[in-house]
Structure 1
Amino acid sequence: MSTVKGSKQYSLKVVPHRPGRRALQVLLALIFVGAALAAAYFGGYWQGMGRQSNALAERDRLQIELTEAREELAQHRQQVANLAVASEVDQMASEEVRGEVIDLRRQIASLEADISFYRGLMSPSEDSNGLTLGEVTITETPVAGRFAFKIVVQQVATNHQVLSGVLNADVIGRSDGGVTRVPLYQLSSDIDTQDIKLRFKYFQNVEGELTLPEGFVAERLELAARSSGRTGDSVEKSFPWPVENL
C-alpha cells in the first residue's frame, strides 16, 4: 500500500459487534438510578415519619402540659376567689362586731346616765338639793333648720314632794347681723306659752321639735326654771348650740 507523505496515520482496531451488551448496560444504569431514587424516597419517607412521630409526641406532651396549666390556673383562681370571699366575710364580720360594740357602748352610757340620774334623785349631795336641770339635748332632724329638743327638769331631794313651777326657754342667735332672743314657744308648735308649766315629783320632760327662722343662726339655749312657794328654788343655765347629751 502506498503512503501519502505528510498525512497523519491512524491505527484501526477491530472489535466485535455486540448490540445486547449495550442494552444491558443501559438497563443496569436504569436499575441503579431507580434503586437510588427508591432508596432516597423511602429514606426520606421514614425520616419524615420519624419526625412526624416526634412532632405528634411533642404535641401530645404540650397538650398535657397545657391542660395541667389550665387546671392549675383554675385552682389558683378559685383560691383567690375563696380568699376574696373570706376577706369580705371577715370585713363584714368585723364591721358588724364594731357596730355591736358601738351599740353596746351607747347602751352602757345610757344606762350609766340613767343610773346616775336616779341616784342623784334619790341620794342628793348637800350642794345639789332642790330644783335642778337634768339632761338637755337638741339634735338635727333630716329637715334643714328643724331640730328635736328634750329638756329634763328634776327635783333632787331626800323626801320628794310634788313640785310646781315654770320653765322659760330662749334661743339666742344672730339675725341680720344683730343678737336676737327668740322664746322657745315661738319656734315650736309643741310649746304654747313662754312660762312652761312644771308639776312633778321626781322629774318632768319638756320635749318636741322647733324650726329656726330663715336667716337666723342659733348660738345657745338659755333656760331658767323656778319653783313656786315661799321657799321656791330657781336655776338658770346656758347651753351652746346645738346641744347633744349635755
Structure 2
Amino acid sequence: MKLAVIGGTGLIGARVVKDLDAAGHEAVPHGKSTGIDVVSGQGVDEAVAGVDVVVNLTNSPTFDEASLAFFRTSMDNLLAAAQRGGVRHFVVLSIVGVDQVPELDYYRAKALQEEILKSGPIPYSIVRATQFMEFVDAVMSWTAEGETVRLPATPIQPIAAKDVAAAVAEVAVGEPLMGVRNVGGPEILPLDELGRITLSHRADGRTVVTDPTAGMFAAVRGDVLTDPNARLAPTRYTEWLD
C-alpha cells in the first residue's frame, strides 16, 4: 500500500513512516522541508497523486485563534487534492475530548478540522489521542517561575508518541472507520502530580504548586479522558521517563 504522510518529518509523522515501512508498505513523508505547503497548496497535488491513503499529521504553528484558519485552509487544499488524486482513505490525528473544550481556540480548531473531514468527499478515519508524554516539559515551561512550577490538578491520561504513531499506522492501513478511534495512556494522573513525578525523576529541585488558574489546561472544564471503548497504550509515564 502506498501512503502519503503529510507532516511526516515531525514527532509523530517520522514514527508513523517508520512503522508503515517496517510493515512492508510504501510511506512517503512530506512537509515544508520536502517542498510541501498545505496552506498555499504548493506541492500538495504532487504529494497525494496516485497514493492509496493520505495521513494528515500537520499542525498549526500557533495555538491561538489563527489555528482555525490554518486547519480550514489546509484541509480544503488537502481534500481537494486527494479527490483529484484518487485517494481512497484520509486519516487525521486529533485529540481526545476535542469537542468538549470550546474555551480553547486550538481545540475548536481541531474540532473544525474533524468536521471538514467528515463532510468531505473521501472515506475517512479520525484517531483521537490524549496528551503526549513528550509535551509535559513544554506544559511546565509555560508556568515556570524561578524555583516554582504552577500547574492545575486537571486529570491527564498521558500517552507516548511511539504509541500514538502505532495507533495511527494501524488505522491507516485498515478500512476507513468513517468515525473516531480513541487512544490513550494506561493511567490517569492529575497534571500537578505529573509535574512532581517528572521533576523528582530528574532530581530537579523545583517545586510544583497546585494552581487551578495556571496554564492552558486550567481552561479545561470538559472531559479529556478516554471512554471505556478506547484503546489503551502499554507505556506508563515512569517507564517513558526511564
Measured against the shorter chain, the TM-score band is under 0.3
Which structure dedicates a bigger proportion of its chain to strand? 1
Greater Rg over alpha carbons, structure: 1
Normalised by the length of structure 2, the TM-score is: 0.23
Normalised by the length of structure 1, the TM-score is: 0.22
